[in-house]
Amino acid sequence: MIMRPSVFCLISSVTWAVLGGGLISCASYTTETAAMREAYIRGNYDLALESLEKSGLKDRSQDRLLWRLEAATILDRKGEFDKSRLLWFEADRIADQLLTLSISKSATSLIVSESSGDYDGEDYEKVAIHAMLAHQYIGLGQLDEARVEARKLNTKLDEINQKYNPDGKYKYKEDAHARYISALIYEARGELDHAIVDYEKARKLYEGEFSGYIQGPLPRGLIKGLYRCLVLRGRQDRVQLIESQYGPKSSVGIDFDRIGELRTNGEVVVVHELGRVAAKYSREEMLTVSDQLVRFSSPQVRPNPITNLGTGILVNQTDFFTAENTVYMDAIAQDSLENSRSRLLAKQMTRLLAKGQINYQAKKQFGPLGGLAANVLTLATETADTRSWTTLPQAFFITRARLSPGQHQIVVRTNGRSSEIKTVQVKRGQISILRAIDG
């Protein structure tokens, strides 16, 4: 068959426009950054940064948010906290800017594919920036700054829900882990009334819709912290309510410390970060509409089981205090993606209608072969956006060890990895909050 010049020109011009603009990618984002993730998982953070640079992510304006999220996390693991924090601040600012952009400004994603436009971050990623900042500040002993970030997390989540979830159907409306962190910091600072407020909010969240975002029961350490604050503030009526609802005689069966010990003992608390959040993958469906082949490509998230080989605090080589799961990011990631499905579908339908018109006009002007060429190209560009913050931890845990005043030897274990033996000075009534990662 001899191809007519006009058809050849159509195929050539469209093909080079698409390929030259980098709008057809031979590999998904997950594949493109596989080397970076492999090095990151092994703890080779220098190689992870090098691989991230080689991926070209930094040089693509549409991926400016994603590059900062990934690079900041790697730098955080390297201990380069100032550089890491600066990138997270920049990522937060970019996410805010992209959140305010109208859908009409994302012209490329409307014409070509979702993966060709600006990556504005999943809803959970925008708020997770503040969780990671809060944890970093905790590790640096800057509790006031950590509390500010915990507050910002729920403020950002509220903004997102007001914009995209006005009917309140989305379960992720407030983050219990952030409330728990805030309560812990208030308690450590001796601001017990504020701590009680946040403990109560966290408790209600964990017993409500947020229960689907953790693996395991309501964190008992949270109830013990609330109980201690109520006792020290003399809220006897609330103390009795907590005892009846969660105490040894209840179905929960928490064995609360004696009141004297609540006043004299101190506490070591560790916030742990485990694993990597589940990556997106693409689900493809092909349908025939009239004489055109239509491709539906949608991003999916499949939660992975939490691999926890042992997380907690070993005290004096004898007593092990087990960590409790406070956030399961895979579940939030899946729910967040499903919540944005209607927005994605609306854009996809607009795009497919536009591509259908391109195919129709190509067939009308250049005949069946021209229509076929256009259909092939529009199919090739209809790819799901599998970009995501792949270095974000999969789960957060909190360990609480209430100890008598004096020196104690502790070993922090996070997913089976142990820190060196440390000697800590536990002071009467004081709480020390630490951070640990499994890298």
Is the pLDDT assigned to residue 25 strictly greater than 60? no
Domains of the chain, by residue range, sit at 5-32+101-437
Which of the four pLDDT bands, split at 50, 70 and 90, describes residue 365?
confident
d(CA 439, CA 431): 25
DSSP-assigned letter for residue 181? H
Is the pLDDT assigned to residue 67 strictly greater than 80? yes
Which of the four pLDDT bands, split at 50, 70 and 90, describes residue 338?
confident
d(CA 345, CA 136): 37
Estimate the share of the chain in helix, then strand, then coil, as percent rounded to the nearest 5. 55, 15, 25
Structure-model confidence comparison of residues 162 and 222, the more confident one: 222
Is the pLDDT assigned to residue 2 strictly greater than 50? no
Which residue bears the tokens 């502790």?
A: 410
Note the pLDDT of residue 120.
87
Is the pLDDT assigned to residue 113 strictly greater than 90? no
Three-state SS at 431: strand
Is the pLDDT assigned to residue 250 strictly greater than 60? yes
Note the pLDDT of residue 27.
58
Give the residue among 172, 257, 275 at the shortest CA–CA distance from 221. Answer: 257
Report the 10 Å Cβ neighbour count for 358.
16
CB 71 within 8 A of CB 392: no
Is the pLDDT assigned to residue 196 strictly greater than 80? yes
Is the pLDDT assigned to residue 102 strictly greater than 50? no
Most confident of 22-31, 249-258, 365-374: 249-258
Three-state SS at 66: helix
Is the pLDDT assigned to residue 355 strictly greater than 60? no
pLDDT in tens, 144-191: 999 999 999 999 999 888 887 777 778 899 999 999 999 999 999 999
Termini Cα distance of the chain: 59
d(CA 343, CA 165): 11
At residue 422, φ and ψ (nearest 5 deg) are -120, 145
pLDDT in tens, 405-426: 999 999 999 999 999 899 999 9
Which of the four pLDDT bands, split at 50, 70 and 90, describes residue 3?
very low
Is the pLDDT assigned to residue 208 strictly greater than 60? yes
pLDDT in tens, 274-315: 999 998 887 765 556 566 555 666 788 899 999 999 999 999
DSSP-assigned letter for residue 58? G
Mean pLDDT in residue range 369-397: 74
Structure-model confidence comparison of residues 294 and 104, the more confident one: 294
Give the residue among 270, 197, 253 at the shortest CA–CA distance from 229. Answer: 197
Note the pLDDT of residue 5.
43
Of all residues in the chain, the percent with pLDDT exceeding 70 is: 77
Structure-model confidence comparison of residues 254 and 100, the more confident one: 254
- Lowest model confidence (mean pLDDT) among 49-53, 378-382, 389-393: 378-382
Is the pLDDT assigned to residue 28 strictly greater than 80? no
